[in-house]
Amino acid sequence: MAFISVFDVIGPNMVGPSSSHTAGAATIGLLARKMIGEQIKKVNFVLYGSFAKTYKGHGTDRALLGGILGFSTDDVRIRDSFELAKWENIEYSYECNETEEDVYPNTVDVEMESVSGRKLVVRGESIGGGKVRLTRINSVKVHFTGEYHALIVKYRDVPGVVASVTTVLSNYDVNIAYLRVFRESKGGIAYTIVESDEEITADAVEEMKKNSVIEDIMVVRR
Amino acid sequence: MDFTNACELIELCEKSGKSVADIMREREIVQGETDAVTVEEKMKKALEIMRDSAHTPIKSALRSTGGLIGGEAAKLNAHRMAGKSICSGVLSKALIYSQAVPEMNASMGVIVAAPTAGSAGVLPAVLFALEEEFELSDETVIDGLFTAGAVGYLLMRNASVAGAQAGCQAEVGSASAMAAAAAVAMMGGGVKECLDAASVSLSNLLGLVCDPIAGLVEAPCQSRNAIGAANALTSAEMALSGIKAVIPFDEMAQSMYTVGCKLPNELRETALGGCAATPTGCALKCKIFCEG
Protein backbone atom coordinates (compact mmCIF):
# COMPACT_ATOMS: atom_id res chain seq x y z
CA MET A 1 0.00 0.00 0.00
CA ALA A 2 1.27 3.48 -0.93
CA PHE A 3 2.25 5.71 1.99
CA ILE A 4 -0.58 7.95 3.19
CA SER A 5 0.93 11.19 4.50
CA VAL A 6 -0.69 13.34 7.17
CA PHE A 7 -0.78 15.98 4.41
CA ASP A 8 -2.90 13.69 2.23
CA VAL A 9 -5.44 13.94 5.08
CA ILE A 10 -4.90 17.58 6.11
CA GLY A 11 -4.49 18.71 2.52
CA PRO A 12 -4.08 19.41 -0.29
CA ASN A 13 -3.99 23.17 0.16
CA MET A 14 -6.14 24.19 -2.76
CA VAL A 15 -8.34 26.67 -4.56
CA GLY A 16 -11.90 25.32 -4.21
CA PRO A 17 -14.40 23.96 -4.70
CA SER A 18 -13.51 20.34 -5.48
CA SER A 19 -10.36 18.30 -4.91
CA SER A 20 -11.08 16.11 -7.93
CA HIS A 21 -12.61 18.71 -10.28
CA THR A 22 -10.48 21.73 -9.35
CA ALA A 23 -7.23 20.71 -7.60
CA GLY A 24 -6.79 17.56 -9.69
CA ALA A 25 -7.49 19.53 -12.87
CA ALA A 26 -4.84 22.13 -12.00
CA THR A 27 -2.31 19.39 -11.33
CA ILE A 28 -3.00 17.74 -14.70
CA GLY A 29 -2.55 21.10 -16.45
CA LEU A 30 0.71 21.72 -14.62
CA LEU A 31 2.07 18.26 -15.50
CA ALA A 32 1.14 18.80 -19.15
CA ARG A 33 2.99 22.14 -19.13
CA LYS A 34 6.08 20.52 -17.63
CA MET A 35 5.97 17.78 -20.26
CA ILE A 36 5.90 20.04 -23.30
CA GLY A 37 8.60 22.11 -21.62
CA GLU A 38 8.28 25.07 -24.01
CA GLN A 39 6.22 28.27 -24.21
CA ILE A 40 2.71 27.13 -25.12
CA LYS A 41 0.90 28.90 -27.95
CA LYS A 42 -2.34 26.97 -28.13
CA VAL A 43 -4.17 24.52 -25.90
CA ASN A 44 -7.41 22.62 -26.34
CA PHE A 45 -8.97 20.59 -23.54
CA VAL A 46 -11.24 17.67 -24.36
CA LEU A 47 -13.36 16.88 -21.31
CA TYR A 48 -14.91 13.50 -20.59
CA GLY A 49 -17.40 12.10 -18.08
CA SER A 50 -18.15 14.18 -15.01
CA PHE A 51 -15.57 16.77 -16.14
CA ALA A 52 -17.69 17.34 -19.26
CA LYS A 53 -20.94 17.57 -17.31
CA THR A 54 -19.99 19.85 -14.41
CA TYR A 55 -16.78 21.64 -15.35
CA LYS A 56 -18.23 25.15 -15.21
CA GLY A 57 -19.62 24.93 -11.68
CA HIS A 58 -16.36 23.46 -10.40
CA GLY A 59 -14.00 25.86 -12.14
CA THR A 60 -12.38 22.87 -13.87
CA ASP A 61 -11.83 25.00 -16.98
CA ARG A 62 -10.01 27.72 -15.05
CA ALA A 63 -8.01 25.17 -13.06
CA LEU A 64 -6.81 23.27 -16.16
CA LEU A 65 -5.73 26.50 -17.81
CA GLY A 66 -4.16 27.67 -14.53
CA GLY A 67 -2.02 24.54 -14.53
CA ILE A 68 -0.96 25.30 -18.11
CA LEU A 69 0.08 28.76 -16.86
CA GLY A 70 2.24 27.12 -14.18
CA PHE A 71 -0.01 27.58 -11.15
CA SER A 72 -0.12 25.00 -8.37
CA THR A 73 -3.38 23.89 -6.71
CA ASP A 74 -3.32 26.62 -4.03
CA ASP A 75 -2.51 29.54 -6.33
CA VAL A 76 -5.40 32.06 -6.33
CA ARG A 77 -4.40 33.23 -9.82
CA ILE A 78 -6.33 30.13 -11.00
CA ARG A 79 -9.47 32.25 -10.65
CA ASP A 80 -8.16 34.72 -13.24
CA SER A 81 -6.59 32.20 -15.59
CA PHE A 82 -8.72 33.20 -18.63
CA GLU A 83 -7.48 36.79 -18.43
CA LEU A 84 -3.91 35.75 -17.61
CA ALA A 85 -3.77 33.32 -20.54
CA LYS A 86 -4.83 36.10 -22.91
CA TRP A 87 -2.14 38.28 -21.39
CA GLU A 88 0.42 35.57 -22.20
CA ASN A 89 -0.99 35.14 -25.73
CA ILE A 90 -2.08 31.58 -25.10
CA GLU A 91 -5.08 30.54 -27.19
CA TYR A 92 -7.33 28.18 -25.26
CA SER A 93 -10.49 26.23 -25.97
CA TYR A 94 -12.62 23.50 -24.45
CA GLU A 95 -14.73 20.76 -25.95
CA CYS A 96 -16.87 18.14 -24.30
CA ASN A 97 -16.88 14.54 -25.41
CA GLU A 98 -19.94 12.96 -23.87
CA THR A 99 -20.19 10.08 -26.34
CA GLU A 100 -17.07 8.11 -25.44
CA GLU A 101 -17.96 5.98 -22.44
CA ASP A 102 -14.83 3.88 -22.02
CA VAL A 103 -13.00 6.52 -19.98
CA TYR A 104 -12.46 7.21 -16.29
CA PRO A 105 -15.19 9.64 -15.00
CA ASN A 106 -12.87 12.64 -14.60
CA THR A 107 -10.69 12.56 -17.70
CA VAL A 108 -9.21 15.27 -19.90
CA ASP A 109 -7.08 15.26 -23.04
CA VAL A 110 -4.74 18.24 -23.08
CA GLU A 111 -3.81 19.07 -26.68
CA MET A 112 -0.90 21.51 -26.74
CA GLU A 113 1.09 23.34 -29.38
CA SER A 114 4.19 25.35 -28.49
CA VAL A 115 5.42 28.55 -30.15
CA SER A 116 8.09 26.48 -31.92
CA GLY A 117 5.38 24.26 -33.42
CA ARG A 118 5.90 21.26 -31.16
CA LYS A 119 2.67 19.34 -30.59
CA LEU A 120 1.82 17.09 -27.65
CA VAL A 121 -1.37 15.46 -26.41
CA VAL A 122 -1.55 14.06 -22.90
CA ARG A 123 -4.47 12.40 -21.17
CA GLY A 124 -4.94 13.01 -17.46
CA GLU A 125 -7.33 11.41 -14.99
CA SER A 126 -8.30 12.98 -11.67
CA ILE A 127 -8.75 10.06 -9.31
CA GLY A 128 -9.92 11.76 -6.10
CA GLY A 129 -8.54 13.87 -3.27
CA GLY A 130 -6.50 15.90 -5.75
CA LYS A 131 -4.51 12.87 -6.89
CA VAL A 132 -4.01 12.36 -10.61
CA ARG A 133 -2.46 10.00 -13.12
CA LEU A 134 -1.39 10.57 -16.69
CA THR A 135 -2.52 7.70 -18.87
CA ARG A 136 -1.72 8.64 -22.44
CA ILE A 137 0.99 10.49 -24.36
CA ASN A 138 -0.16 11.14 -27.93
CA SER A 139 -1.68 7.78 -28.85
CA VAL A 140 0.41 5.60 -26.52
CA LYS A 141 -1.10 4.38 -23.26
CA VAL A 142 1.21 5.13 -20.31
CA HIS A 143 0.99 5.51 -16.55
CA PHE A 144 2.62 7.92 -14.11
CA THR A 145 1.51 10.26 -11.33
CA GLY A 146 3.88 13.21 -11.02
CA GLU A 147 4.42 12.39 -7.34
CA TYR A 148 8.04 11.59 -8.16
CA HIS A 149 10.51 13.18 -10.54
CA ALA A 150 9.72 11.65 -13.91
CA LEU A 151 11.81 11.03 -16.98
CA ILE A 152 9.92 10.23 -20.18
CA VAL A 153 12.01 8.82 -22.99
CA LYS A 154 10.47 8.47 -26.45
CA TYR A 155 12.21 6.20 -28.96
CA ARG A 156 11.83 3.64 -31.70
CA ASP A 157 11.18 0.21 -30.14
CA VAL A 158 14.57 -1.52 -30.57
CA PRO A 159 16.65 -3.52 -28.08
CA GLY A 160 19.00 -1.83 -25.61
CA VAL A 161 17.38 1.55 -25.02
CA VAL A 162 16.26 0.86 -21.44
CA ALA A 163 19.75 -0.37 -20.62
CA SER A 164 21.34 2.78 -22.03
CA VAL A 165 18.95 4.98 -20.04
CA THR A 166 19.42 3.14 -16.76
CA THR A 167 23.20 3.14 -17.20
CA VAL A 168 23.22 6.92 -17.38
CA LEU A 169 20.91 7.15 -14.35
CA SER A 170 23.21 4.86 -12.44
CA ASN A 171 26.23 6.99 -13.40
CA TYR A 172 24.43 10.07 -12.09
CA ASP A 173 23.42 8.35 -8.82
CA VAL A 174 19.70 8.53 -9.50
CA ASN A 175 17.65 5.99 -7.56
CA ILE A 176 14.79 4.57 -9.64
CA ALA A 177 11.48 4.30 -7.76
CA TYR A 178 9.50 2.91 -10.71
CA LEU A 179 10.38 2.06 -14.29
CA ARG A 180 7.77 1.22 -16.88
CA VAL A 181 7.98 0.57 -20.60
CA PHE A 182 5.09 1.27 -23.00
CA ARG A 183 4.78 0.87 -26.73
CA GLU A 184 2.23 1.28 -29.47
CA SER A 185 3.34 -1.78 -31.43
CA LYS A 186 6.47 -3.86 -31.89
CA GLY A 187 9.10 -1.70 -33.59
CA GLY A 188 6.86 1.38 -33.31
CA ILE A 189 6.95 4.35 -30.94
CA ALA A 190 7.84 3.37 -27.39
CA TYR A 191 8.11 5.25 -24.12
CA THR A 192 10.14 4.42 -21.06
CA ILE A 193 8.99 6.28 -17.98
CA VAL A 194 11.27 6.42 -14.99
CA GLU A 195 10.01 7.80 -11.68
CA SER A 196 12.90 8.64 -9.40
CA ASP A 197 13.70 9.95 -5.94
CA GLU A 198 16.39 12.33 -7.21
CA GLU A 199 15.96 15.06 -9.77
CA ILE A 200 17.29 14.18 -13.21
CA THR A 201 19.78 16.81 -14.36
CA ALA A 202 20.19 18.38 -17.81
CA ASP A 203 23.65 16.79 -18.05
CA ALA A 204 22.17 13.32 -17.59
CA VAL A 205 19.57 14.05 -20.26
CA GLU A 206 22.28 15.20 -22.71
CA GLU A 207 24.17 11.99 -22.02
CA MET A 208 21.07 9.90 -22.79
CA LYS A 209 20.41 11.78 -26.03
CA LYS A 210 23.70 10.41 -27.43
CA ASN A 211 21.74 7.23 -28.15
CA SER A 212 20.51 7.95 -31.69
CA VAL A 213 17.28 5.95 -31.52
CA ILE A 214 16.03 8.22 -28.71
CA GLU A 215 13.74 10.79 -30.33
CA ASP A 216 12.73 12.88 -27.37
CA ILE A 217 13.22 13.20 -23.63
CA MET A 218 10.86 14.98 -21.28
CA VAL A 219 11.76 15.72 -17.67
CA VAL A 220 8.96 16.41 -15.21
CA ARG A 221 10.23 17.78 -11.91
CA ARG A 222 8.18 16.99 -8.87
CA MET B 1 7.41 3.09 13.22
CA ASP B 2 3.90 2.83 11.87
CA PHE B 3 0.38 1.89 12.87
CA THR B 4 -2.39 0.52 10.70
CA ASN B 5 -5.37 0.63 13.06
CA ALA B 6 -6.57 2.27 16.27
CA CYS B 7 -5.53 -0.68 18.46
CA GLU B 8 -1.93 -0.33 17.29
CA LEU B 9 -2.07 3.45 17.79
CA ILE B 10 -3.31 3.03 21.37
CA GLU B 11 -0.55 0.51 22.06
CA LEU B 12 2.12 2.80 20.59
CA CYS B 13 0.93 5.76 22.68
CA GLU B 14 0.68 3.78 25.89
CA LYS B 15 4.05 2.06 25.50
CA SER B 16 5.94 5.24 24.67
CA GLY B 17 3.93 7.63 26.84
CA LYS B 18 3.59 9.87 23.79
CA SER B 19 0.52 11.69 22.51
CA VAL B 20 -1.34 10.78 19.30
CA ALA B 21 0.01 13.98 17.76
CA ASP B 22 3.63 13.06 18.51
CA ILE B 23 3.20 9.51 17.21
CA MET B 24 1.70 10.94 14.01
CA ARG B 25 4.63 13.38 13.67
CA GLU B 26 7.15 10.55 14.09
CA ARG B 27 5.32 8.41 11.57
CA GLU B 28 5.41 11.24 9.04
CA ILE B 29 9.14 11.80 9.55
CA VAL B 30 10.09 8.11 9.35
CA GLN B 31 7.62 6.77 6.76
CA GLY B 32 7.55 9.98 4.74
CA GLU B 33 11.36 10.20 4.76
CA THR B 34 11.44 13.82 5.85
CA ASP B 35 12.46 15.84 8.91
CA ALA B 36 10.74 17.43 11.89
CA VAL B 37 11.22 21.02 10.73
CA THR B 38 9.70 20.41 7.29
CA VAL B 39 6.71 18.60 8.77
CA GLU B 40 6.07 21.33 11.34
CA GLU B 41 6.39 24.10 8.72
CA LYS B 42 3.95 22.35 6.38
CA MET B 43 1.41 21.98 9.16
CA LYS B 44 1.82 25.63 10.16
CA LYS B 45 1.15 26.61 6.56
CA ALA B 46 -2.02 24.48 6.53
CA LEU B 47 -3.14 26.12 9.77
CA GLU B 48 -2.54 29.58 8.33
CA ILE B 49 -4.72 28.79 5.28
CA MET B 50 -7.41 27.27 7.51
CA ARG B 51 -7.42 30.37 9.69
CA ASP B 52 -7.78 32.68 6.73
CA SER B 53 -10.54 30.60 5.12
CA ALA B 54 -12.51 30.49 8.38
CA HIS B 55 -12.35 34.26 8.91
CA THR B 56 -12.39 35.98 5.50
CA PRO B 57 -16.05 35.21 4.63
CA ILE B 58 -17.18 36.68 7.97
CA LYS B 59 -15.83 40.07 6.96
CA SER B 60 -17.14 40.01 3.42
CA ALA B 61 -19.73 37.62 2.02
CA LEU B 62 -18.48 35.48 -0.88
CA ARG B 63 -20.80 34.39 -3.68
CA SER B 64 -20.36 30.79 -4.81
CA THR B 65 -19.68 29.87 -8.45
CA GLY B 66 -23.02 28.06 -8.71
CA GLY B 67 -24.82 30.77 -6.76
CA LEU B 68 -26.50 28.43 -4.25
CA ILE B 69 -24.64 29.72 -1.20
CA GLY B 70 -22.89 32.85 0.03
CA GLY B 71 -23.10 35.21 3.00
CA GLU B 72 -24.05 32.62 5.63
CA ALA B 73 -20.99 33.18 7.85
CA ALA B 74 -21.54 36.95 7.99
CA LYS B 75 -25.24 36.47 8.83
CA LEU B 76 -24.47 34.06 11.64
CA ASN B 77 -21.77 36.34 12.99
CA ALA B 78 -24.12 39.35 13.00
CA HIS B 79 -26.72 37.26 14.78
CA ARG B 80 -24.20 36.25 17.42
CA MET B 81 -22.83 39.77 17.82
CA ALA B 82 -26.38 41.01 18.40
CA GLY B 83 -26.53 38.68 21.40
CA LYS B 84 -29.23 36.58 19.79
CA SER B 85 -27.37 33.26 19.44
CA ILE B 86 -29.32 30.36 20.91
CA CYS B 87 -26.26 28.07 20.64
CA SER B 88 -23.86 30.60 22.26
CA GLY B 89 -20.27 30.03 23.34
CA VAL B 90 -18.12 27.46 21.57
CA LEU B 91 -20.98 26.07 19.50
CA SER B 92 -22.07 29.37 17.98
CA LYS B 93 -18.48 30.18 17.01
CA ALA B 94 -17.97 26.72 15.53
CA LEU B 95 -21.18 27.19 13.56
CA ILE B 96 -19.92 30.43 12.03
CA TYR B 97 -16.55 28.98 11.01
CA SER B 98 -18.12 25.78 9.71
CA GLN B 99 -20.13 27.89 7.25
CA ALA B 100 -17.30 30.27 6.39
CA VAL B 101 -14.91 27.66 4.98
CA PRO B 102 -17.42 26.11 2.53
CA GLU B 103 -18.25 29.66 1.40
CA MET B 104 -14.56 30.26 0.73
CA ASN B 105 -14.31 26.91 -1.04
CA ALA B 106 -17.36 27.41 -3.25
CA SER B 107 -16.13 30.84 -4.38
CA MET B 108 -12.79 29.41 -5.55
CA GLY B 109 -10.93 30.65 -2.49
CA VAL B 110 -7.99 28.77 -0.97
CA ILE B 111 -8.84 26.10 1.60
CA VAL B 112 -7.24 23.01 3.09
CA ALA B 113 -9.08 19.79 2.24
CA ALA B 114 -9.60 18.04 5.60
CA PRO B 115 -10.08 15.32 4.60
CA THR B 116 -11.94 16.64 1.52
CA ALA B 117 -12.85 20.05 0.11
CA GLY B 118 -16.56 19.43 0.71
CA SER B 119 -16.00 18.75 4.41
CA ALA B 120 -13.21 21.30 4.89
CA GLY B 121 -15.18 23.46 7.34
CA VAL B 122 -15.61 20.93 10.14
CA LEU B 123 -12.07 20.73 11.52
CA PRO B 124 -11.22 24.47 11.40
CA ALA B 125 -14.59 25.24 13.03
CA VAL B 126 -13.82 23.06 16.03
CA LEU B 127 -10.15 24.09 16.27
CA PHE B 128 -10.73 27.84 16.17
CA ALA B 129 -13.85 27.88 18.36
CA LEU B 130 -11.95 26.04 21.10
CA GLU B 131 -8.78 28.07 20.55
CA GLU B 132 -10.63 31.35 21.05
CA GLU B 133 -13.02 30.37 23.82
CA PHE B 134 -10.34 28.58 25.89
CA GLU B 135 -7.37 30.75 24.84
CA LEU B 136 -5.32 27.82 23.60
CA SER B 137 -1.81 28.21 22.17
CA ASP B 138 -0.82 27.71 18.53
CA GLU B 139 1.12 24.60 19.61
CA THR B 140 -2.03 23.08 21.09
CA VAL B 141 -3.93 23.76 17.86
CA ILE B 142 -1.14 22.19 15.78
CA ASP B 143 -1.26 19.15 18.07
CA GLY B 144 -4.98 19.05 17.32
CA LEU B 145 -4.22 18.98 13.61
CA PHE B 146 -1.82 16.05 13.92
CA THR B 147 -4.33 14.20 16.10
CA ALA B 148 -7.04 14.79 13.50
CA GLY B 149 -4.55 13.67 10.85
CA ALA B 150 -4.02 10.34 12.64
CA VAL B 151 -7.76 9.61 12.71
CA GLY B 152 -8.19 10.76 9.09
CA TYR B 153 -5.29 8.58 8.00
CA LEU B 154 -6.90 5.51 9.62
CA LEU B 155 -10.20 6.26 7.90
CA MET B 156 -8.49 6.85 4.56
CA ARG B 157 -6.56 3.61 4.96
CA ASN B 158 -9.21 1.30 6.42
CA ALA B 159 -12.48 2.85 5.28
CA SER B 160 -13.02 5.72 2.83
CA VAL B 161 -13.12 9.51 2.82
CA ALA B 162 -14.68 9.81 -0.65
CA GLY B 163 -18.35 10.73 -1.07
CA ALA B 164 -18.39 8.99 -4.45
CA GLN B 165 -17.36 5.77 -2.73
CA ALA B 166 -19.12 5.85 0.66
CA GLY B 167 -21.42 8.89 0.86
CA CYS B 168 -21.27 12.02 3.00
CA GLN B 169 -20.70 9.90 6.13
CA ALA B 170 -17.23 9.30 4.65
CA GLU B 171 -16.62 13.03 4.13
CA VAL B 172 -18.40 15.05 6.82
CA GLY B 173 -18.55 11.92 9.01
CA SER B 174 -14.78 11.44 8.76
CA ALA B 175 -14.12 15.16 9.24
CA SER B 176 -16.32 15.06 12.32
CA ALA B 177 -14.43 12.07 13.76
CA MET B 178 -11.13 13.84 13.08
CA ALA B 179 -12.35 17.06 14.72
CA ALA B 180 -13.75 15.17 17.73
CA ALA B 181 -10.38 13.53 18.36
CA ALA B 182 -8.62 16.88 17.92
CA ALA B 183 -10.98 18.55 20.40
CA VAL B 184 -10.34 15.85 23.00
CA ALA B 185 -6.57 16.11 22.57
CA MET B 186 -6.62 19.91 22.75
CA MET B 187 -8.65 19.80 25.96
CA GLY B 188 -6.30 17.36 27.65
CA GLY B 189 -7.78 13.94 26.86
CA GLY B 190 -5.68 10.85 26.12
CA VAL B 191 -5.51 8.49 23.16
CA LYS B 192 -8.43 6.32 24.26
CA GLU B 193 -10.71 9.33 24.78
CA CYS B 194 -9.69 10.69 21.37
CA LEU B 195 -10.68 7.47 19.63
CA ASP B 196 -13.87 7.10 21.69
CA ALA B 197 -14.95 10.56 20.57
CA ALA B 198 -14.06 9.72 16.96
CA SER B 199 -16.01 6.46 17.10
CA VAL B 200 -19.13 8.11 18.54
CA SER B 201 -18.90 10.85 15.89
CA LEU B 202 -18.83 8.28 13.11
CA SER B 203 -21.72 6.30 14.55
CA ASN B 204 -23.86 9.44 14.83
CA LEU B 205 -23.54 10.24 11.14
CA LEU B 206 -23.64 6.65 9.89
CA GLY B 207 -25.58 6.37 6.65
CA LEU B 208 -25.42 10.05 5.71
CA VAL B 209 -25.79 10.28 1.93
CA CYS B 210 -23.91 12.44 -0.58
CA ASP B 211 -26.48 14.31 -2.69
CA PRO B 212 -25.04 17.62 -3.90
CA ILE B 213 -27.53 19.83 -5.73
CA ALA B 214 -26.45 20.21 -9.38
CA GLY B 215 -23.37 18.16 -8.46
CA LEU B 216 -21.77 21.23 -6.92
CA VAL B 217 -19.93 21.42 -3.62
CA GLU B 218 -22.39 23.96 -2.21
CA ALA B 219 -25.70 22.69 -0.82
CA PRO B 220 -26.41 20.68 1.27
CA CYS B 221 -22.62 20.36 1.78
CA GLN B 222 -22.25 23.68 3.57
CA SER B 223 -24.86 23.15 6.28
CA ARG B 224 -23.67 19.57 6.78
CA ASN B 225 -20.34 21.02 7.85
CA ALA B 226 -22.26 22.62 10.74
CA ILE B 227 -23.65 19.28 11.86
CA GLY B 228 -20.17 17.75 11.53
CA ALA B 229 -18.71 20.40 13.84
CA ALA B 230 -21.54 20.22 16.38
CA ASN B 231 -21.36 16.43 16.40
CA ALA B 232 -17.59 16.59 16.98
CA LEU B 233 -18.02 18.91 19.97
CA THR B 234 -20.76 16.85 21.62
CA SER B 235 -18.83 13.60 21.04
CA ALA B 236 -15.67 15.17 22.48
CA GLU B 237 -17.51 16.40 25.54
CA MET B 238 -18.92 12.92 26.11
CA ALA B 239 -15.48 11.33 25.89
CA LEU B 240 -13.92 13.98 28.15
CA SER B 241 -16.64 13.35 30.74
CA GLY B 242 -15.60 9.71 30.88
CA ILE B 243 -18.29 8.18 28.66
CA LYS B 244 -16.80 5.32 26.64
CA ALA B 245 -17.76 4.50 23.06
CA VAL B 246 -19.80 1.31 22.89
CA ILE B 247 -18.27 0.31 19.55
CA PRO B 248 -14.45 0.51 19.26
CA PHE B 249 -13.10 2.87 16.58
CA ASP B 250 -11.71 0.17 14.26
CA GLU B 251 -15.06 -1.64 14.13
CA MET B 252 -16.89 1.64 13.60
CA ALA B 253 -14.59 2.59 10.70
CA GLN B 254 -15.22 -0.79 9.10
CA SER B 255 -18.95 -0.39 9.61
CA MET B 256 -18.94 3.08 8.06
CA TYR B 257 -17.21 1.66 5.00
CA THR B 258 -19.59 -1.30 4.72
CA VAL B 259 -22.63 0.95 5.03
CA GLY B 260 -21.12 3.29 2.44
CA CYS B 261 -20.66 0.51 -0.10
CA LYS B 262 -24.29 -0.49 0.38
CA LEU B 263 -25.56 2.99 -0.43
CA PRO B 264 -27.17 3.06 -3.86
CA ASN B 265 -25.28 4.82 -6.63
CA GLU B 266 -27.86 7.64 -6.61
CA LEU B 267 -26.73 8.64 -3.12
CA ARG B 268 -23.00 8.69 -3.71
CA GLU B 269 -22.09 12.06 -5.25
CA THR B 270 -23.90 11.43 -8.54
CA ALA B 271 -26.46 14.19 -7.85
CA LEU B 272 -29.25 11.75 -8.76
CA GLY B 273 -30.83 11.31 -5.33
CA GLY B 274 -31.61 12.98 -2.00
CA CYS B 275 -31.61 16.79 -2.02
CA ALA B 276 -30.39 16.84 -5.62
CA ALA B 277 -33.41 14.85 -6.84
CA THR B 278 -36.08 16.99 -5.16
CA PRO B 279 -38.14 19.19 -7.51
CA THR B 280 -36.35 22.25 -6.17
CA GLY B 281 -32.95 20.55 -6.49
CA CYS B 282 -33.68 19.67 -10.11
CA ALA B 283 -34.97 23.16 -10.89
CA LEU B 284 -31.83 24.73 -9.41
CA LYS B 285 -29.64 22.44 -11.49
CA CYS B 286 -31.48 23.47 -14.63
CA LYS B 287 -31.18 27.13 -13.71
CA ILE B 288 -27.41 26.85 -13.16
CA PHE B 289 -26.50 24.77 -16.19
CA CYS B 290 -29.18 25.60 -18.76
CA GLU B 291 -29.34 29.35 -18.26
CA GLY B 292 -25.85 30.00 -16.90
pLDDT > 70? residue A40: yes
Chain A contact present for B69, CB below 8 A = no
**Is A130 part of any domain?**
yes
Angle at alpha carbon of residue B237, lines to B233 and B239, rounded to 5° = 120
Residue of A nearest to B104 (CA): A16
Residue A1 lies in a domain: no
Q: Please, what is the end-to-end C-alpha distance for chain B in angstroms?
A: 52
Say if residue B254's pLDDT is above 70: yes
Mean pLDDT of A105-129: 94
Query: Å from A148 to nearest chain B CA?
Result: 13
**Residue A153 and residue A122 in one domain:** no
Domain end call among A138, A167, A202: A138
Across the range A35-39, mean pLDDT stands at 95
Give the pLDDT confidence score for residue B114 in this predicted structure. 97
Which residue from A137, A110, A107 is spatially nearest to A20, judged by alpha carbons?
Answer: A107
Query: Any idea which architecture B6-289 has in CATH?
Result: Orthogonal Bundle (1.10)
Asked whether residue A143 is assigned to any structural domain, the reply reads no
Whether residues A173 and A64 share a domain: the answer is no
Q: Tell me the mean pLDDT in the region B56-61.
A: 95
Do both A44 and A125 map to the same domain? yes
Are residues A68 and A127 both part of a single domain?
yes
- Tell whether B207 is within 8 A of chain A (Cβ): no
pLDDT of residue A105: 82
Looking at the fold, whether A173 and A124 belong to one and the same domain comes out as: no
User: What separation in angstroms does the CA of A154 have from each of A185, A200, B210?
Assistant: 13, 16, 43
Is there a single domain that holds both residue A163 and residue A77?
no
Q: Which residue of B has its CA nearest to A23?
A: B117
Range A176-195 average pLDDT: 93
Note the pLDDT tens digit of each residue in B99-117: 999 999 999 999 999 999 9
Average pLDDT rounded to a whole number, residues A64-86 = 97
Confidence of residue A1 (pLDDT cuts 50, 70, 90): low
- Do residue A118 and residue A206 come from a single domain? no
Residue B26 pLDDT > 70: yes
User: Same domain, yes or no, for A42 and A76?
Assistant: yes
Cβ atoms of residues B89 and B103 within 8 Å: no
Q: Give the Cβ contact number of residue B73 at 10 Å.
A: 29
Residue A47 belongs to what domain range?
A: 6-138
- Please tell me whether residues A56 and A98 are part of one structural domain: yes
The model's pLDDT over B159-202, given as tens digits with 9 standing for 90+, comes to 999 998 899 999 999 999 999 999 999 999 999 999 999 999 99
Number of separate domains in chain A: 2
Helix axes B20-31, B36-59, angle to 10 degrees: 120
Co-location of A122 and A173 in the same domain:
no
Question: What was the pLDDT predicted at B1?
Answer: 82
Q: Residue B272: is its pLDDT beyond 70?
A: yes
Instruction: Looking at the structure, tell me whether residues A23 and A107 fall in a common domain.
Output: yes
- The mean-pLDDT minimum among A24-28, A59-63, B286-290 falls in B286-290
* Last residue of one domain, picked from the residues A119, A138, A157: A138
- Written as one string, the DSSP assignment of B115-170 is S-STTTTHHHHHHHHHHHHHT--HHHHHHHHHHHHHHHHHHHHHS---HHHH-HHH
Q: Who has greater pLDDT, A151 or B292?
A: A151
For A80, the closest chain B residue by CA position comes to B108
List residues bridging with B28 in a β-sheet.
none
Region B141-146 average pLDDT: 98
User: Which of A100-104, A136-140, B287-291 has maximum average pLDDT?
Assistant: A136-140
* DSSP code, position A158: -
Alpha-carbon distance B225 to A215, whole Å?
52
A13–B45: do the CB atoms touch at under 8 Å? yes
Enumerate residues 6+ apart whose C-beta is below 8 A from B62.
B56, B70, B71, B103, B104, B106, B107, B109
User: Which of A138, A172, A206 is the endpoint of a domain?
Assistant: A138
User: Does A107 reside within a domain?
Assistant: yes
Q: What pLDDT digit, counting tens, does each position of B227-249 carry?
A: 999 999 999 999 999 999 999 99
Q: What integer is the mean pLDDT of A200-209?
A: 94
Quick check: is A99 in a domain? yes
Task: Work out the average pLDDT over A14-32.
Answer: 95
For residue A153, what pLDDT is reported?
A: 96
Sheet holding A214-220, edge to edge: A176-183, A189-196, A149-156, A214-220
Please say if the pLDDT value at position B77 is more than 70.
Answer: yes
Q: Are A88 and A172 found together in one domain?
A: no
Q: Do the chains contact at A57 and B149, CB–CB below 8 Å? A: no
Neighboring chain B residues of A7 at a CB cutoff of 8 Å? 28, 42-43, 46
Looking at every residue in chain A, the average pLDDT score rounds to 94
pLDDT at B291: 65
Residue B261: pLDDT over 60? yes
